[in-house]
Amino acid sequence: MGIKVTDKIKLAVKGSSDSGQIIKVGNTTIGGSQLLIIAGPCSVESREQLVNTAVAVKKAGANALRGGAFKPRTLPYSFQGLGEEGLKILAEARELTGLPVITEVMSPQDVELVEGYADVLQIGARNMQNYPLLKRVGRADKPILLKRGMSATIEEWLGSAEYIMLEGNNEIILCERGLRSFDPVTRNLLDVTAVPIIKQVSSLPVVIDPSHGTGVKSLVAPMSNAGVAAGADGILVEVHTNPELALSDGAQSLDPDEFSSLIEGLKPIAEAVGKYV
């Protein structure tokens, strides 16, 4: 295979799926036979929106809550997130539901703040090669969800994991979220192949993000199934109580009923590959 297991990425490629690493995520884990089902809105917009979504996704079968408080938006006029207020709302939703919280951190200066509220720190696709940020989260006391850059090779992605690990943080969850492609039918081209490739060279858990990976609501369930069938340790899905009113990524967000159907459909697929929801 094309991945050269050299000493340039020796930490990230240590082991393989046979010796899969189990990472604690709040009161649950990833990397064992239980899938990590991360669900929630693209952005934290209000207390009511986030709490209602958290309660609904938990009921449907999610075991982790996502929501962005610091948002990397393509255009500066778009909603940029609620910042610390959003983090407080996330922590409140965790209090209420018990779901661990995954949220993005965009700059090294914010790591200390975000760490105080989150259970897992997300490094977004746009920041996969922000080396000062990678080094800083390498010294954080929380697991990292490292999204693959939209034009990053698998080796580059593992290179970013290596940066984090070199600073002492070995708890990295890789997240495939789709690549820039030529076809505008989908927002990105979800590289499901990345899942077994990672499994063959690394012991790090990997999740699939079919929301950003397709940008299309109707494709989120089938691609969740595909990711889990390919060996993913979990999924990350955007869910909004009213997707039409979402301040970001409404077109790819499921409502709670659609998310609940996704989970029901995923159960037999998970079972077929020795996992469960």
* Nearest approach, Cβ of residue 7 and Mn ion (Å): 36
* Nearest approach, Cβ of residue 212 and ligand PEP (Å): 4
* Smaller CB separation from ligand PEP, 225 or 252: 252
Please name the residue that has the structure tokens 């909004």: 240
Judged by beta carbon distances under 5 to 8 A according to partner kind, the member of ligand PEP, Mn ion, none in contact with residue 124 is ligand PEP
Residues 6+ apart with CB under 8 A from 60: 39, 256, 259, 260, 263
Please name the residue that has the structure tokens 């990833």: 30
* Smaller CB separation from Mn ion, 42 or 56: 42
* Nearest approach, Cβ of residue 204 and ligand PEP (Å): 17
Judged by beta carbon distances under 5 to 8 A according to partner kind, the member of Mn ion, ligand PEP, none in contact with residue 45 is none
* Nearest approach, Cβ of residue 238 and ligand PEP (Å): 7
Judged by beta carbon distances under 5 to 8 A according to partner kind, the member of Mn ion, ligand PEP, none in contact with residue 100 is none
Question: Is the Cβ–Cβ distance between 86 and 69 less than 8 Å?
Answer: yes
Residues 6+ apart with CB under 8 A from 182: none
Please name the residue that has the structure tokens 């899938």: 35
* Smaller CB separation from Mn ion, 176 or 249: 249
Question: Is the Cβ–Cβ distance between 265 and 221 less than 8 Å?
Answer: yes
* Nearest approach, Cβ of residue 25 and Mn ion (Å): 20
* Smaller CB separation from ligand PEP, 199 or 212: 212
Q: Which residues of 206-237 are buried (b: 16+ CB within 10 A; e: fewer)?
A: bbbbbbbbbbebebbbebbbbbbebbbbbbbb
* Nearest approach, Cβ of residue 267 and Mn ion (Å): 25
* Nearest approach, Cβ of residue 240 and Mn ion (Å): 10
Site residues for Mn ion, 242-271, by CB under 5 A, read: 249
97 HSE (CA, 13 A, CB side)? 29
Residues within the interface to ligand PEP (CB under 6 A):
42, 68, 72, 124-126, 147, 177, 212
* Smaller CB separation from ligand PEP, 20 or 262: 262
Residues 6+ apart with CB under 8 A from 218: none
Residue sitting closest to Mn ion (CB) = 42
**Quick one: which of 110, 18, 19 has its CA closest to 72?**
110
Residue sitting closest to ligand PEP (CB) = 124
Q: Is the dihedral of CA 181, 194, 267, 203 positive or negative?
A: negative
Stretch that binds Mn ion, among 38-46, 107-115, 121-129, 261-269 (CB under 5 A): 38-46
What are the φ and ψ backbone dihedral angles of 40, each rounded to 5 degrees?
155, 175
Contact pick of 13, 39, 42, 114 for Mn ion (by CB under 5 A): 42
Report the amino acid identity of residue 89.
I
* Smaller CB separation from ligand PEP, 33 or 193: 193
Query: What separation in angstroms does the CA of 276 have from each of 30, 141, 151, 229, 259?
Result: 12, 28, 32, 12, 16
Binding residues vs Mn ion (CB under 5 A): 42, 249
